[in-house]
Structure 1
Amino acid sequence: MDRAALGQLKRLYPFVRPYRRYFVIALFGVVFASALGLVYPQVLGDLVDTALQPESDPSSLNLISLGLLAVFALQAGFNVIRIYYLNVMGEGVVADLRKATYAHLMTLPVKFFDNRKTGEITSRLTSDVAVLQSTVSTSLAQTLAQAMTFIGGVTLMFVASPRLSLIVLSFLPVTIVAAAIFGRKLRRVSTLFQDRVADANSYAEEAIAANRVVKWFTYERAEVERYGEAVDESYRVARRRARLQALFSPMVTFVGFGTLAIVFWVGGRQVLAGEMTAGDLVTFLLYTITVAGAIGTFTGLYSQLQSSLGASKRIFELLDEESDVLEPLQPVEIPAVQGRVAFVDVAFSYSDRDTAVLTDVSFDIEPGETVALVGPSGAGKSTVVQLVPRFYDPDAGSVRLDDIDLRDLRLMDVRRHMAAVPQETQLFSGTIAENLRVGKPDATDDELVDAAIAANADAFIISFPDRYDTVVGERGVKLSGGQRQRVAIARALLKDPRVLILDEATSSLDSESEALVQEALDRLMEGRTTLVIAHRLSTVRDASRILVIDGGRVVQEGTHDRLLAMGGLYADLYARQFEDEPV
């Protein structure tokens, strides 16, 4: 095992530390169960010698047999202790590892999730951790037991017959060299297998989440083929892993049983020559079988260990991911937020693109002011609102809240004063009440109702049999678009933010729903600094100011009437949308 593999195992120790008590108890069971497992070959040897003596007393035979049963019963009891406490420890370790991985995921920036498939991430939380779970819970118990058995067995073999012991151990280097060669290959293939499984999972998750799109476009066959190809690729890698395991384990088994045959031949000649008794040979053969069994078990455990190292590598890669949106070393305290937002000479580009998305963008939004962002597709409007909650940091310039650079504030302090109502509302799969409490986890039932009434959502909520306990389905699929938007508005109202971001929250709704949502939005925007991304210019006529963005720059600024009078891009965009209406 190389240094990198040992390093990965060491990194598991912090997760094992809280369960040391269970490990000590399990170790107690391992020691005594393994020790008793090494007693019975000697007892059986005595049983054979007693049975072969013509003048032997049957009562001695009975006593030895009862002693053998007692040994097996005690061994079973200690094995119960070993297996139970090691499994409890293993399950706890894996549960903590899974929680730590998920907690770390929640700290990673938006860019991390933008650059990875959801299925790949969930695969690391499920499949990779499941591989570790099997190893820590089961394989660790077997490894400890077999290690004790191997050490004790070899020691007692030398006590019984040094000559035969040297014959047995002469074949041990073959096993060690084979383990080293096959182990490295197996670890690489196991890591590759987990990667291919993650790919397949990501395809499945995408198709399941977008099942309506798949059905609308009769894309089922193509999705089945894409998923099938990914599964076939993982199967091809699994076959490579199976070939390695198929070569390794039988080879070690052959060496072990071949050694046993040689021992039987040499030991048999010693019995015939009177150099050892038949019982001593039986005892030594049983010790040899015990040691060979331990070595054979180690080969299977070694294969599992290599798979676990591959899985743990992927998990620790995730845990090693660092956010490029860093917390300040000495954060500025901001007890009360007024809601003033400013962009100062901001430039920004995404890491996977060569061109700048924003260039020298500067503007101020006063507390309580409503500012709309308009412009052609790809102009940079969405990027602007991604910078406000500090999902990304600008490459140059600064984004400020109440005249303080966002990078000087704690992320929690920035985001707890902000809320968003996007065009595509994302709800969780729980109840309406649970979704509302995302905005304020400690909200009372009365506060939920008040927020829902203000968002024009209470009427449809109480029409459901389960009212606020109605399950909305994954991503809110059981609610209509307008209902989802009103739940999102109520959620934002509960948070009571100073800065609000609206991404054309009414663009995909019918007229009736749009009127209800717009009325709720008007209540939500009262007294709050609001930044609106507008695709339909009719929705921004009442904005305090309108910023026209094109090519990553603010090219025009003013009220609706003033921008129309000025001409230029805004007037052109407006004319295209309302060419049948008088301007």
Structure 2
Amino acid sequence: MSSPAPSRGRRGRRAPSDGPRASLKQLLPFLLEHKRVLIVVAVLSVLEALATLGQPLVVGQVIERVQGGEVLGLLVWVLVGLVVASSLIGAWQHYLLQRTGTAVVYSSRRRLIARLLHLPIREFDARRTGDLVSRVGTDTTLLYAVLTQGFADSIGSVLIFVGAMVAMLLIDPLLLLLILVVIAASATVVGLLSGRIRSATQAQQQKVGELSSGVERAIGSIRTIRAAGAGAREQQTIEETARGAYDAGVQVAKASALVVPVAGIALQVSLLVVLGVGGFRVASGAISIAQLVTFVMFLFFLVQPLASFFGAITSVNQALGALGRIQEVLDLPTETAEDAAIAAGAAAAAPAESAAAPAIEFRDVRFRYPEAVVAARRSAESEALRALADAHVDAAAVELGDEDRDDDVLRGVSFTVPAGARVAIVGPSGAGKSTTLALIERFYDPTGGAILLHGRDIRTLDRDELRSQLGYVEQDAPTLAGTIAENLRLASPDASDAQCERVLRDVNLGEVLERSPLGLEAPVGESGVMLSGGERQRLAIARALLAAPPILLLDESTSSLDGLNEQRMREAFDAVATGRTLVVIAHRLSTVVDSDHIVVIDHGEVVGQGTHSELVASTPLYRDLAKHQLLV
């Protein structure tokens, strides 16, 4: 399967969708994981509220005793005790909230990572890696504010708010009524702004995801970009994305900035009202000076939690904006979740497994990539042509694979792979060869027909069980950052050092072991940059050989090898082929001419099957390929 051309900036992958807006109900599971701690925090909030509300009452008693010339006695110490207790309880509560907020971020990241690593392959083909990474890193961080600035603060704030209102009602209902008018106006303004904050935050997080994707793609292709002289263009594209993130952030700042002064204005207006009307009430004898002072203190305690509540609205709305993007991924079905429905239908139609059946059988297999994947590839193709135009290359002279241009990749493909046989699949670029291996691995399922493993429809098999029987070497097999040993043991974690060294020498990588005194523990660099292209390919093959599965799937596994290493690789395959089934895709027919069976595919259809000599005589396409490679 021809790979889609790399894209720049926001092109080449499906842009992050707006996604569903999260609700408080969807936030609850993250909080309820820590309900015991939150209960303790709630209790502390009650105690802190009581200690806080007790202070104005004691101050009022102090003023009355001073006015009456009475002895203060223990009142001063009671007031000091309430202040100290309130501070200590607040500090403990703060610690618990900070710790729990960190735990919420951790648990959300665990959920995301678990879901991401088990999503169907189509989701990775249709989405950008950087955007998915951003959801794990940046988006989850905003959930921290829900606890540290939102949820638990609101509990204490509500208690203080209600307690202050009750006390103020008992002191002077008229003054309280005037204050409530101011508060109602403030709450209306905040309510109108909260929706804007959530939308702006969601847009900002999406832009940050695009930025992460652009940077990740550029860094991953830095050598190609430098060699093509495209550094300035890449910089401009990423800077445009960064500008978009900045603009979205400014919108968040504007909406949040409008919320911040609301509480301050409410306090100032309320204070002016209390001092003006309250002074008149004192002069008329309706209330005493001590009651007015107590009322003013309660006013501050009323507006302070109001400010915290307004801040909590901002924090929660920002978190809900990010949670919408997190929830979008968490709501995607995993491979395992899809298997039950697929297996139920396939099991009824497929025969039971049989030892006499072929190792692999394609029965009239049809396949079309999902619409989102097709759209992403077409976008990548358009970007590739634009890049060629920038480089003054005639785009019309560039032929991209039919797989990327046509939704129908396979059209009724049928062939068998006998157990223990070596079968090759050949054909021009874009014919659908790599797709056949992707379907065997169940990265995708056929849209028609069936693929059987030992006579059993692979859709009835658990994917892990299926893949444990397959060794797959991709066309562009990646090398993971880490050591040689870590790459080898990816599929064979229990392999000994001796086994690792033996398989490396089998694929002519012994010199890599001798290159560094660290041997198997030698680092390979990011994406295997410390190895040559041929060495990376041989390392991938060694990884598959070490696992020693009964079936090996090799996609252009020798395309980067020179003649000597290709011969060594064929010898290694001969050594491990005994008792195993090999399915090999190759452009160079010299690597497959001695295969037991060769399948020729063109435009998603089987146009010929047989041995090399049979196909030369019967299949024009194969004969032309052989002539071009000087094999006839």
Q: TM-score, normalised by structure 1?
A: 0.92
Report the equivalent of 2:481.
429
Say if 1:25 and 1:81, in contact at 8 Å, map to a contact too.
no
Question: 1:444-483: CA deviations, max 9, x gaps?
Answer: 4444334334444344225422222222222222222233
* CA deviation after TM superposition for structure 1 residue 323, in Å: 4.8
1:97 aligns with 2:108: yes
User: Do 2:101 and 2:143's aligned partners in 1 also have CA atoms closer than 8 Å?
Assistant: no
Q: Does 1:173 align with 2:184?
A: yes
2:48/2:86 contact within 8 Å kept: yes
Q: Note the 1:81-480 alignment, pairs <5 A.
A: 81-323=92-334, 326-328=338-340, 340-352=359-371, 353=374, 355-480=407-532
Q: Mean alpha-carbon deviation: is it higher for 536-545 or for 44-53?
A: 44-53
| SS of the residue 1:357 aligns to | strand
Residue pair 2:427, 2:433 contacting (<8 A) in 1 also:
yes
**Corresponding residue number in structure 2 for 1:37:** 52
Aligned counterparts of 2:458 and 2:191: Cα–Cα separation in 1: 52
Q: Which residue in 1 is equivalent to 2:77? A: 66
Amino acid at match of 1:377: S
Q: Number of residue pairs matched?
A: 572
Map Cα deviations across residues 531-578 of structure 1 (whole Å, 9 max, x no partner). 111111221112111111111101011111222233500111122233
Q: CA deviation at 1:379?
A: 0.9
Letter in 2 for 1:217: A
Specify the alignment match of 1:14 in structure 2.
29
- Secondary structure of the residue aligned to 1:12 is helix
Match of 1:535 in 2: 587
CA distance in structure 1 between the aligned counterparts of 2:299 and 2:274, rounded to whole angstroms: 8
Structure 2 distance, partners of 1:9, 1:89, is 18
Structure 1 residue identity aligned to 2:592: V
- Letter of the aligned partner of 2:368 in structure 1? S
User: Structure 1 428/52 Cα, relative in aligned 2: closer, same or farther at 3 Å?
Assistant: farther
CA positional deviation for 1:65: 3.7
- Judging changes above 3 Å, is the alpha-carbon distance between structure 1 residues 527 and 366 closer, same or farther for their aligned structure 2 residues? same
How far did residue 158 of structure 1 move?
1.6
Q: Distance in 1 between matches of 2:278 and 2:254?
A: 36
* 8 Å Cα contact 2:537-2:560 kept in structure 1: no
Secondary structure of 1:38's counterpart equals: helix
**Whole-Å separation in 2 of the counterparts to 1:173 and 1:522:** 82
Letter in 2 for 1:258: V
One-letter amino acid of the structure 1 residue matched with residue 422 of structure 2: T
**Separation in 2, partners of 1:22, 1:443:** 44
| Offset, 1:314 | 0.9
Measured after TM superposition, the shift of residue 357 of structure 1 is 1.1
Check conservation: 1:36, 1:75, Cα contact below 8 A. Answer: yes
CA–CA distance in structure 2, aligned partners of residues 139 and 214 of structure 1: 45
1:337–1:500 distance in 2 versus 1, CA, 3 Å:
farther
Which deviations, in whole Å up to 9, do the C-alpha atoms of 1:466-509 show, x marking residues without a partner?
22222222222222223323322232123221221111122123
Kindly indicate whether the alpha-carbon contact (under 8 Å) linking 1:190 and 1:241 is maintained by their aligned counterparts in 2: yes
Partner of 2:609, secondary structure, is: strand
SS at match of 1:170: helix
Using the alignment, how far apart are the partners of 2:514 and 2:83 within structure 1?
66
Q: Which residue number corresponds to residue 603 of structure 2? A: 551
1:307 partner amino acid: Q
Query: How far apart in 2 are the matches of 1:283 and 1:517?
Result: 89
Instruction: Write the distance in 1 (CA, Å) between the matches of 2:536 and 2:129.
Output: 23
Deviations 1:509-545 (A, max 9, x none): 3445444444434434443211111111221112111
Deviates more, 1:538-547 or 1:420-429: 420-429
Partner amino acid, structure 2, of 1:179? V
1:262 to 1:384, Cα distance in 2 relative to 1, 3 A: same
Runs of 5+ consecutive residues of structure 1 not aligned to the other structure: none
Equivalent in 518, 535, 550 of residue 483 of structure 1: 535
Moved more, 43-52 or 215-224: 43-52
Distance 1:446 1:339, change over 3 A: farther
Q: Deviations over 1:48-74 (max 9, x none)?
A: 444455x355xx28x544333322221
Greater relative CO, 1 or 2 (CA 8 Å, sep 6+)? 2
In the aligned structure 2, how far is the partner of 1:334 from the partner of 1:157? 80
Q: 1:257 to 1:523 in 2, by over 3 A?
A: farther
Is 123-132 or 351-360 further displaced after alignment? 351-360
Q: Would the alpha carbon gap of residues 287 and 404 (structure 1) be closer, same or farther in structure 2, given more than 3 Å must change?
A: same
Other-structure match for 2:14: none
Q: State which drifts further: 255-264 or 122-131.
A: 255-264
Cα distance in 2 for residues equivalent to 1:172 and 1:571: 86
Please give the TM-score of this superposition, normalised by the length of structure 2.
0.85
For 2:412, what is the secondary structure of its paired residue? strand
SS at match of 2:23: helix
- Check conservation: 1:252, 1:299, Cα contact below 8 A: yes
Q: Matches of 1:476 and 1:13 in 2, distance apart? A: 43
Relative to structure 1, is the Cα distance of residues 149 and 443 closer, same or farther in structure 2, using a 3 angstrom cutoff?
A: farther
CA distance in 1, matches of 2:325, 2:51: 40
Distance 2:499 2:539 in 1: 14
Q: CA RMSD in A?
A: 2.5
**Contact 2:150/2:313, CA 8 A, preserved across alignment:** no
